[in-house]
Amino acid sequence: MSARISVVEGDITQQRVDAIVNAANSSLLGGGGVDGAIHRAAGLELLAECRTLGGCPTGEARMTRGYRLSARWVIHTVGPVWRGGDHGEDALLASCYRNSLALAVEHGIHSIAFPAISTGVYGFPLGQATRIAVAEVRRFLEQAETIEQVVFVCFGRRAYETYVAVMGYPLNSLGQLKADP
Ligand code: ADP
């Protein structure tokens, strides 16, 4: 199972996968953080296609082409804004992962990279968000045989170490993976 899920530290726009997931806002018209980076790397045609979609509700996902990205597709999903945890945040974040993966299956996508949805400007606590991300992806992969590779792309060391810990990988004293999981 773990062989189909990997964790890397890096920039999601540089990933060589069939689809990258964007942590978008509900307008789908671009923003800061990972959304801004994806639009900058993909070029203005991405924004033009996004304009045709009419937005996306929180927890759902929409797909576009990747334009100048090496990824052929971008799956835009809208994570919940953290409002203390009592406003359905966990369930909405889980549905971002499920709906993104469901779109990937529908379109015959074999490899997909996720950022840490909602953990930037939207303020979702990183550890809790990571546990949800890992649990949802693991559960989904049990019944989705066409998806061969899911990559969690961590922007920075703190996110990387959190993902590695939640995945249960052993780290050495330098914070490096001891062995391939
Ligand atoms: P949200 O509004 O869903 O919180 P953000 O873009 O603010 O979205 O942050 C989501 C996560 O994406 C954060 O963990 C942030 O560090 C990360 N991030 C920002 N830029 C990139 C990038 N180029 N590649 C991968 N992850 C990124």
- Domains of the chain in sequence order: 2-167 (3.40.220.10)
| pLDDT by 10s per residue, the chain, length 181 | 468 999 999 999 999 999 999 999 999 998 999 999 999 999 999 999 999 999 999 999 999 999 999 999 999 999 999 999 999 999 999 999 999 999 999 999 999 999 999 999 999 999 999 999 999 999 999 999 999 999 999 999 999 999 999 999 776 776 666 665 4
Model's pTM, two decimal places?
A: 0.95
Residue 64 CB coordination number (10 Å): 20
Given strand 5-9, what is the order of strands in its sheet? 5-9, 149-154, 111-114, 19-24, 73-78, 61-65
Provide the strand spans (E) within 10-141: 19-24, 61-65, 73-78, 111-114
Please list every protein residue whose CB sits less than 6 Å from any atom of ligand 1: 11-13, 23, 33-35, 37, 79, 115-122, 153, 155, 159
Ligand 1 atom 18: residue of nearest CA? 34
Single out the residue of 53, 37, 4, 15 nearest to residue 153, CA to CA: 15
Provide the strand spans (E) within the chain: 5-9, 19-24, 61-65, 73-78, 111-114, 149-154
Ligand 1 atom 23: residue of nearest CA? 11
List 35, 86, 90, 180, catalytic entry: 35
Expressed in angstroms and rounded, the spacing between residue 116 Cα and the centre of ligand 1 is 6
Expressed in angstroms and rounded, the spacing between residue 163 Cα and the centre of ligand 1 is 14
From the alpha carbon of 122, which atom of ligand 1 is closest? Answer: 4
Is 18 one of the annotated active-site residues of the chain? no
Q: How far apart are CA 27 and CA 24, in angstroms?
A: 8
Ligand 1 atom 21: residue of nearest CA? 34
Expressed in angstroms and rounded, the spacing between residue 34 Cα and the centre of ligand 1 is 4
Single out the residue of 166, 121, 140, 151 nearest to residue 7, CA to CA: 151
